[in-house]
Amino acid sequence: MATEYPKHFLKLKEKYPQLIEAYERAGELGRKAGPLQDKYTHLIQMAACVALRSEGGVHSHTRRALEAGTTPEEIYHALALLISSAGFPAVSAGFSWVNDVIEEKGR
């Protein structure tokens, strides 16, 4: 399953191809730097995006976590774990962004 990128990201990539290539490579190197499986690295990155209230980041890492074999239940559990650290408003927003992707994928 190929990752679907938002139009604005593709336009940025077209305008600054070397910068975006370096950005993507840094993410790839970070994921490969240790023993965690991709499904867990994307859950961690999704959680960070929830805390930062980055809708696009939550969408991206939710899609990528699903592609890496993470179940919707695992994603929802990761969100639940954030309530005491990121706060209910951030988790509530994150829940809606995760649902965007899960509903889009028909899961």
Q: What are the sequence ranges of the domains in the chain? A: 37-107
Mean pLDDT of 90-104: 95
Q: So what's the pLDDT on residue 5?
A: 77
Packing angle between helix 72-81 and helix 88-104, nearest 10 degrees? 170
Q: Which helix (H) or strand (E) holds 104?
A: helix 88-104
Q: Considering the entire predicted model, what is its pTM?
A: 0.86
Average pLDDT over residues 33-47: 96
Burial of residue 67, with CB atoms counted within 10 A of its CB: 0-12 exposed, 13-18 middle, 19 or more buried: middle
Homologous superfamily of domain range 37-107? AhpD-like (1.20.1290.10)
Q: pLDDT category, 3, cuts 50, 70, 90?
A: low
Average pLDDT score over the chain: 93
